Chains A and B, each alone.
Chain A
C-alpha cells in the first residue's frame, strides 16, 4: 500500500488531497498544528467516519518550526510521497507579518527539503508554490520559464521555495516538484479569500443576516480554478517519471466583479445594492494580471481542469447558503 505524508492536512488543499489519496488506496499521514480543533476542521468528516478508507488516515499534531519533530516523524512513517502544503496562505496578511511569511513559508520548505533529503530512502516531494512568484510578469500567460518577479512578501517567500526546490533537485538529485498553483477555490476556501468572502456574503444577505459587503479592487482579475483539480495535479506530478515544476492554472481570467455577478445573480440578488469598495482593502502593491499556461502539466501529466468558473462559484454559493441555513445566526461555520 503506498504511503503519503501531507503537511497542512486541515487546509483546503490538504483535505481534498487526503480524500483523493484515500480513494486511491493510500495510507495517509497528515500533520495539523498542535492547536487545530479536528472536530471543526476540514477533515472532521474523515476523522469521524469509520469507513475502511478513513481508517487509513493518521493525523499527527506537529509544529513545523521544530525541525527535529518532522525528521523523527518521517523516520517513523517512511512515506513514498510527501506533499508540503502547510503555509500561511493569505497574500494580503503577508504585508502585516512579512517576517512570519518568510520564516514559515521559506524556512518551512527548506526544513522539509532537508528532512526529506536526510531520509535513507527519500520520498518523492511535492512543494506548493504560487502564481504570486510572477508578481509583475514580463509576459502573459506565464509558464515554467517565466522569470520570477514577486511584488508581495508572500510572493517573495514562495519564490524562495521555488528556487530552493530547483536547487535541491539539481544539487542533491531529489525528486522534488514545485506546483506553481494559480488561485484555486472551493466550498472549503478560507473566508478571508475574496471568492469565499463573496459567496458567503451573498448567502448571508439572501438570508437577511447581512446587508453590506466591503471589498477592495473590483476590477482585479485572477486565474481561478477548482481546488479539487489542483490537488489532482499534485498527485500526478509525483507519478511522472521525472521531477519538474508545473504551472497549474486554467488559462482564463475573471474579475472580482464577475464573481459578484455570478454569486449574487445565482441567488436573485443585485450586488450593486450591497457592495461598498474600501480602499483600505487594496493591497499595497497589486500584481499585474496573472494568468497561467498549463501546457506542460497538460502534456507531461495529462492534467486538465474540469468545471467552469461559473459552476464553481454557484456551487460555493449553494454550499454557503446550506451551511448558513443549517447553523444558528451567530455560529462560526466550520473551516
Chain B
C-alpha cells in the first residue's frame, strides 16, 4: 500500500518538528513547507534529515503563506491526504510590533492555504492550529470549545479569523477541517524568545557560569503549560476521527512564571531570586486573563490526556539546555 502523505506548514517550528517525527514513525511520507530565509532555521528537523530512519520519507519544499499560488502548485504536486497548518508569526508580544505582517500570515495566509486546497480540487483532512490566546479577556474559567473569543492582541485577532474561516470551509464546502485550540505547549524545542525556554536556557548558562542575570516581564502571568510532544499527538488524532470538529487541548492546570522559575532554577541547585530582574519592557501591552483549558472533549472523543505535567516539563527543558550547552548535537532528553 502506498504511504499516506502529509503536508506540514511550519515544519521547522517546535510543533512541526515533533509532528514530522510522529508521522514518520507512523510510516507517513512527510512534506514540509519551508520559507526562504537568509539564515537556516532547521535545527529542529536536522536530526530527521540526517537520516535517522525517516530521511527518505521527509521532503522539504520552498513556499510561502504570503503567496497562494506557490501553495496551490505544491499541493497539486504532493496530493496530501492530511494537511497540518502550523505556520504562523506566533509570538504574541512581537505581533504588537508587526501587526500587518502577523495578520497577513496568520489570517490571510490561512485563507490562501484553504483556497489553494479548494482550487486544486483536493479533499485532504486539514488541521488548523488555533490558540488559547483567542480567549483573551476570558468570560468563563476554564475555557472550552464553546467559550466565546475576546482576543486582545494582533496575533489573537488573526488566529480568531483563521479559526472561523476554517469552520467556514468545513460548513460551506464539507472540507474535513479541524481547529485545535491549543493552550501553551512547551518543550526543549520552544523558541528562545518564549518565556519558558528563555528561563531554561538562562538556567543552563547561569549554572555553567556563562551568564549572570535574566531579564523577564510579568512574573505573575499564569498559563496552562503542556508538553508539545504530546500536543502534536492530539493533532494527528483529530484527523483520524469519523467527523471533523474543534478541540481544546490543555492540561487544565495553571502555573505562574514565578513557579516556573522556582522549578527550573531549583533543578540546577540555584535560587532564581539571585539572578532574575524584571523589566516592564517585556510586559505585554495587554495581558490575557486566566487562561486554563478544559480538554474534556479531547479526552472523551480522542482518548487524549496529557501525561507530562508542569514540574517535569520545566526539569526536562533545563536538562536539555544543559546538555546542549555542552554539545549542540546531544540527543534531546525524553520524559521518564
Q: Nearest residue in B to A99 (C-beta to C-beta)?
A: B111
Q: Mark B203-227, 1 if CB is under 8 A from A, else 0.
A: 0000000000000000000000000
> Shortest distance in angstroms between B61's beta carbon and chain A's nearest beta carbon?
21
> Shortest distance in angstroms between A60's beta carbon and chain B's nearest beta carbon?
22
Q: Nearest residue in B to A109 (C-beta to C-beta)?
A: B103
Give residues of chain A (149-175) contacting chain B, Cβ–Cβ below 8 Å: 149-153, 155-157, 159-160, 163-164, 166-167, 170-172
List the B side residues contacting A67 at CB < 8 Å. 100
The answer to whether B157 touches A164 (Cβ under 8 A) is: yes
The answer to whether A167 touches B164 (Cβ under 8 A) is: no
Binds B, one of A11-19, A100-108, A197-205: A100-108
Task: Give the CA-CA distance A157 to B164 in the complex, in Å.
Answer: 9
The answer to whether A103 touches B104 (Cβ under 8 A) is: yes
Q: Mark A140-153, 1 if CB is under 8 A from B, else 0.
A: 00000001111111
* Among B108, B158, B173, residue most surrounded by chain A Cβ atoms (within 10 Å): B108
The answer to whether B165 touches A156 (Cβ under 8 A) is: yes
The answer to whether B158 touches A160 (Cβ under 8 A) is: yes
Evaluate whether A99 and B103 lie within 8 angstroms (CB atoms) in the complex, with A148-B149, A151-B168, A156-B161 already known: no
11 sampled A-B residue pairs with Cβ under 8 A: A99-B111, A102-B165, A103-B108, A106-B103, A110-B154, A148-B164, A156-B161, A160-B161, A163-B161, A170-B286, A172-B285
Task: Give the CA-CA distance A98 to B168 in the complex, in Å.
Answer: 11
The answer to whether A164 touches B154 (Cβ under 8 A) is: yes
The answer to whether A207 has its CB under 8 Å from any CB of chain B is no
Tell me whether chain B's interface is mostly helix, strand or loop, or mixed: helix
Evaluate whether A160 and B157 lie within 8 angstroms (CB atoms) in the complex, with A98-B165, A150-B164 already known: yes
> Shortest distance in angstroms between B287's beta carbon and chain A's nearest beta carbon?
10
List the B side residues contacting A285 at CB < 8 Å. 168, 171-172
Task: Give the CA-CA distance A166 to B153 in the complex, in Å.
Answer: 10
The answer to whether B10 has its CB under 8 Å from any CB of chain A is no
Evaluate whether A171 and B152 lie within 8 angstroms (CB atoms) in the complex, with A98-B165, A150-B164, A153-B168 already known: yes
The answer to whether B151 touches A163 (Cβ under 8 A) is: yes
Tell me whether chain A's interface is mostly helix, strand or loop, or mixed: helix
Not counting A151-B168, A163-B160, A167-B156, a sample of 9 additional A-B residue pairs whose C-beta atoms are within 8 angstroms of each other reads A98-B114, A98-B165, A103-B108, A148-B164, A149-B164, A152-B168, A156-B164, A163-B161, A167-B154
Q: Mark B99-124, 1 if CB is under 8 A from A, else 0.
A: 11001100110011011000000000
The answer to whether B285 touches A148 (Cβ under 8 A) is: no
Task: Give the CA-CA distance A98 to B172 in the complex, in Å.
Answer: 13
List the A side residues contacting B148 at CB < 8 Å. 147-148
Closest 9 CB pairs of A and B: A147-B148, A284-B172, A163-B157, A160-B161, A285-B172, A156-B164, A171-B286, A171-B285, A102-B108
List the B side residues contacting A153 at CB < 8 Å. 111, 165, 168
Tally of contact residues, A, Cβ under 8 A: 32
> Shortest distance in angstroms between B145's beta carbon and chain A's nearest beta carbon?
13
The answer to whether A160 touches B286 (Cβ under 8 A) is: no
> Shortest distance in angstroms between B149's beta carbon and chain A's nearest beta carbon?
7
The answer to whether A170 touches B152 (Cβ under 8 A) is: yes
List the A side residues contacting B156 at CB < 8 Å. 163, 167
> Shortest distance in angstroms between B152's beta carbon and chain A's nearest beta carbon?
5
The answer to whether B164 touches A159 (Cβ under 8 A) is: yes
> Shortest distance in angstroms between B86's beta carbon and chain A's nearest beta carbon?
19
The answer to whether A99 touches B115 (Cβ under 8 A) is: yes
List the B side residues contacting A102 at CB < 8 Å. 107-108, 111, 161, 165
The answer to whether B191 has its CB under 8 Å from any CB of chain A is no
Task: Give the CA-CA distance A147 to B139 in the complex, in Å.
Answer: 11
List the B side residues contacting A164 at CB < 8 Å. 154, 157
List the B side residues contacting A150 at CB < 8 Å. 164, 168
Task: Give the CA-CA distance A95 to B171 in the complex, in Å.
Answer: 12
Q: Nearest residue in A to B153 (C-beta to C-beta)?
A: A167
Give residues of chain B (76-132) contacting chain A, Cβ–Cβ below 8 Å: 96, 99-100, 103-104, 107-108, 111-112, 114-115
List the B side residues contacting A152 at CB < 8 Å. 168, 172
Task: Give the CA-CA distance A95 to B172 in the complex, in Å.
Answer: 9
The answer to whether B286 touches A167 (Cβ under 8 A) is: yes
The answer to whether B286 touches A151 (Cβ under 8 A) is: no
Give residues of chain B (152-188) contacting chain A, Cβ–Cβ below 8 Å: 152-154, 156-158, 160-161, 164-165, 167-168, 171-173
The answer to whether A33 has its CB under 8 Å from any CB of chain B is no
The answer to whether B68 has its CB under 8 Å from any CB of chain A is yes
